[in-house]
Amino acid sequence: MAKRGREDREFIEVGDPGVRLDRWLWAARFFKTRGLASDAIAGGKVSLNGDRPKRSRAVQIGDRVRVQLGPYEHLVTVQGLSARRGPAAEAALMYEEDEAGARRRAELSARLKAESALFSHQAGRPSKKERRELGKLRRRE
């Protein structure tokens, strides 16, 4: 039985046919599992070169991928292909993020943090006294 190590994780060369989109998204660490990547593709959260692809579509170097993760949108250009999920440092080499997209995502993050500060979060369940007061209010109505 051959021992598998870091030497097994090689990047695919430019002339190769490519990697499945769901596998590339998983290897680039946009999703924790290929199943989640497939669900996102099927749900229209991922576009490849402006089109809505299937999960088996081959990704090539130079392709533009848009990934919608919650309220955030990632716009990336494919720089490398890998069929294996490696360390985060290797995954970061597989794509280059659009500067405008990163800037929009940072602005949205700051806006969401500022909005969440406006809302007061309660400390959990109401106390016995608070429950009695709520009961009195409900009986009056």
Condensed to tens digits (0 to 9), the pLDDT of residues 83-121 reads: 899 999 999 999 999 999 899 999 999 998 888 777 766
pLDDT beyond 50 at 136? yes
CATH topology of domain 7-119: 3.10.290
Sequence-distant (≥ 6) Cβ neighbours of residue 34 within 8 angstroms? 22, 23, 26
Distance separating alpha carbons of residues 107 and 111, to the nearest angstrom: 6
Rg over alpha carbons for the chain, rounded to the nearest Å, is 23
Residue 16's pLDDT is 58
Task: Report, as an integer, the average pLDDT of 28-35.
Answer: 94
The model's pTM: 0.72
